[in-house]
Amino acid sequence: MAAEGETSSESLVLSGMHDHYGGVIVHINDNDPMDPATFLSLLTSSIAHWKLQGKKGVWIKLPIERVNLVEVAVKEGFWYHHAEPMYLMLVYWIPQSPHTLPSNATHRVGIGAFVLNPNTRQVLAVQEKSGVLQGTGVWKFPTGVVDEGEDICVAAVREVKEETGIDSEFVEVLAFRQSHKSFFEKSDLFFVCMMRPLSFDIQKQEHEIEAAQWIPFDEYAAQPFVQNNELLKYISDICKTKIDGQYSGFSPVLASSFYDQQASYVYLNNSSTAPKRDGGV
């Protein structure tokens, strides 16, 4: 089949966007019914066309409604790149050389919030309704998962609000941990965030939280669960040093980059010994 034209829906070539790396990105419309035979015909003519154009990588985003086309693409040499609940991203590499396609996301990101009332030296603590600590009476920091596209400093404020009803302000990242195989083969980055409370009346989330309370920091730290857990003992020691004014974490500053369309947060040690910035270029 000849490969000609690329503009109308009647053409013999799938329409796609072209990226800066010699790639073609095709979004199959979930409202556009297509039978596997038609798709196979379009796919083979499109690949021939893109090959003549010197294209390298081909990306096809198939909505889950078009699951009937997955097998056709795989049989033509496509493989899985990544998937989200509503779509599957397939890739194909035209050249004979090994592919240089970017890898998939590898990490989930979580936060733990150290919300300190500096006047009372109390920390905001919760007991969870489910999970391994259910029913143990252990007090822990509010924790949660950073959503796709969400800033760490925004996620920490959101999670504290959701779990306890407390408004808070992000201060800095005190430490972070990287762990592996936390979820199938994926890795995990967990950021311990220092927060300044802006309100004090707790309204706990009913679904996940068994109890939420301001408790003396020393009482939190003295729990056997903290003392006997190497990681939590480190974090607790850092928090204590921070309370005593002798610890500097990383605080966020907005910076734009040559590579990006918009500014993003850089987390750095902004204490007295760090470089002074005038706030922008």
Q: Which of residues 196-255 bind a second copy (CB under 8 A)?
A: 225, 228-235, 237-238, 240-241, 246-250, 253, 255
- What's CA 216's distance to the chain center, in Å? 32
* Residue where the block lists tokens 């998939």: 104
Q: Which of 4, 84, 218, 219 binds a second copy (CB under 8 A)?
A: 84
Please work out the total of residues on this chain that contact a second copy, with binding judged by CB under 8 A: 90
- Residue 118 found at the interface with a second copy (CB under 8 A): no
- What is the C-alpha separation between 47 and 34, in angstroms, rounded? 18
Contact between 145 and 110 (Cβ < 8 Å):
yes
Q: Look up 208 and say whether it is catalytic.
A: no
Up-side HSE of residue 231: CA atoms within 13 Å toward CB? 9
Q: Is 184 exposed, middle or buried (0-12, 13-18, 19+ CB in 10 A)?
A: exposed
Binder to a second copy among 10, 201, 206, 260 (CB under 8 A)? 260
Q: Quote the distance between the C-alpha of residue 252 and its chain's center.
A: 17
- DSSP-derived letter for residue 279 is S
Instruction: Count CB atoms within 10 A of the CB of residue 109.
Output: 17
Any contact of residue 277 with a second copy (CB under 8 A)? yes
Touching a second copy, residues 37-56 (CB under 8 A): none
Annotated active-site residue in 162, 169, 208, 210: 162
d(CA 160, CA 148): 18
* Interface residue with a second copy, options 51, 108, 129, 161 (CB under 8 A): 108
Of the candidates 29, 134, 178, 199, which one interacts with a second copy according to CB under 8 A? 178
Cβ 115 to a second copy, closest distance in Å? 19
C-beta of 52 vs 259, nearer to a second copy: 259
Is 195:169 a contact under the CB 8 Å cutoff?
A: yes
Q: How far is the CB of 12 from a second copy (least distance, A)?
A: 25
For the chain, how far is it from start to end, CA to CA, in angstroms? 55
Dihedral of alpha carbons 214, 217, 221, 222, sign: negative
User: In terms of CB distance, is 93 or 214 closer to a second copy?
Assistant: 93
Identified binder of a second copy from the candidate list 87, 93, 141, 170, rule CB under 8 A: 87
Query: Exactly one of 146, 157, 171, 209 binds a second copy (CB under 8 A); which one?
Result: 146
Taking residues 54 to 73 in sequence order and writing x for each that binds a second copy by CB under 8 A, - otherwise, the string is ----------x--xx-xx--
Least distance CB 249 / a second copy (angstroms): 7
Residues marked active site are found at 162
